[in-house]
Structure 1
Amino acid sequence: MLNRLKSAAAVFLVLFSLITLSSPKLDMDKLVAFTREKYDEDAVKRIIAWRAMIDNKQQLPEQEKLKLVNQFFNYFEFVDDIRLWGKEDYWATPLEFIGIRGGDCEDFAVAKYFTLLELGIPMEKLRLGYVKSLTLNQFHMVLAYYPTKTSMPLILDNIDGEIKPAYKRKDLVLIVSFNGQKLWLNKQKGKGKTASSSARMADWDNLSNRYSMEQFMSEE
């Protein structure tokens, strides 16, 4: 299991870098039309609310942005990949997650990650973390926010909606964390060592294409 998590993380180091380096101007008319055609009017409302949050809340303090984004996505429904996508493991883009209004723990964490990046949170302050949930006795994903390089992270989670410092989440054991810059192997809350991997997983290769605003806006 650990090797699979490390492999997935390694691929996302590449994909996140590609995606976050590309920031074409968003065409809301096309985005709304695409959402209406693929989903429904309720999905259109969610997409508009999502983009309004990003456009209008840029000046908030960082921790207020965390609360806003965490609350926005935690209203969504948890749905297993096999039920939603017919696959054991599928990482939805934020557009897919918002369109359907549901997904599993990876989808919650990824949507929060990208949204906070768009709200101006520096990438080095954010990490996606694979953890072992002792309460559920299963692997789980959360988003961690580091106010400084050496500080204890705050945990954004769809299971426990309250943002808490990692030391208060005794129900979680961190295994692997990563962002668009680095991969960390970690078994202690708030601490870890940098790691590298050349592993690749073909299943994830199309994520950057599916979420690239540049490609999306080029569709007619």
Structure 2
Amino acid sequence: MALPLPDHRCTAHPFPVRGTGWLLCILLALPVGGWAVPDWNFNTVLSRAEARYGQLGSADERLRAWEAMLERSQSLPERQQLEAVNRFFNRQLSFRSDQQVWGVEDYWATPVEALVKGAGDCEDYAIAKYFSLRRLGVPAQNLRITYVKALQQRNQAHMVLTWYSEPSADPLVLDNLRGEILPASQRDDLLPVYAFSAEGVFIAANDGGQVPSGDAKRLSRWQDVLHKMNAEGFAVGEG
């Protein structure tokens, strides 16, 4: 059953266009050429979170629930892993703007930061789902974080995670606006604009496909997310 559409403005900002290279100024970089399953030690994660935030309270329960969900999902078929991860974060996080949570206009949170706060905006859901699925062994080339326009919300900027069974497949959409995972072809409420992945940056084409539009390797904002995750106790590398 679909979750009700929250009344919010997502903070996935469509930054100003500055010539043909504008996408390279706004997208976050994922490591190019694939990425090994990260080494996560949750005892280290919990201790570092407590050192940063103090007594975690209900956040401790959310972080432990995340670990338990990943452990339960490890042996599931990939489609069931998508369902488990999508359901977990849609239930655990409440939608809040970056201004409400962090006091700034735009902030890209790690999964730990989002779970400690118990809240995030659309890119925080997508990032948390991405890392969780990577932890479960889903290949990086099957996943893209995709910027779309939410047509039912006056073309509001929005971020989702998409999963491809193969490069030319109709992707499945993991979204915080709706509870069920549907093929992109059935999400006529979303208009894709661009996506990024380990393979680079992609712009939506007129035929519904995606056209490569650059190498995301040199971009810095995703490096900030990786750096924070490494500091939190996740050995994710910095690609």
Pick the TM interval, shorter chain.
Answer: 0.7 to 0.9
Shift in alpha-carbon separation, 1:194–1:169, aligned structure 2, 3 A: same
| Aligned AA (2:71) | D
Counterpart position of 2:38: 23
TM superposition score normalised by structure 2 = 0.79
Mapped partners of 1:19, 1:87: distance in 2: 32
Counterpart position of 1:206: 224
Runs of 5+ in structure 2 lacking a partner?
Answer: 1-13, 235-239
2:49 touches 2:232 (CA, 8 Å); kept in 1?
no
Mapped partners of 2:216, 2:143: distance in 1: 22
1:21 CA displacement:
4.9
Runs of 4+ in 1 over 6 A off after TM superposition: 198-201
Counterpart position of 1:80: 97
Mapped partners of 2:148, 2:222: distance in 1: 20
Counterpart position of 2:3: none
Mapped partners of 1:49, 1:204: distance in 2: 26
User: How many residue pairs align between the two structures?
Assistant: 212
| Aligned AA (1:162) | E
Q: Deviations over 1:87-119 (max 9, x none)?
A: 111100111011111100000001001100111
Q: Deviations over 1:150-171 (max 9, x none)?
A: 2101111001111111111111
Of stretches 50-59 and 200-209 in structure 1, the one that deviates more from structure 2 is 200-209
In the TM superposition, 1:99-118 aligns within 5 A as 99-118=116-135
Mapped partners of 2:128, 2:166: distance in 1: 22
Percent sequence identity over aligned pairs:
34
Mapped partners of 1:199, 1:49: distance in 2: 33
> Structure 2 residue aligned with 1:46, among 43, 62, 80?
62
Mapped partners of 2:207, 2:173: distance in 1: 10
Shift in alpha-carbon separation, 1:27–1:145, aligned structure 2, 3 A: closer
Secondary structure, in 3 states, of the residue corresponding to 1:135? helix
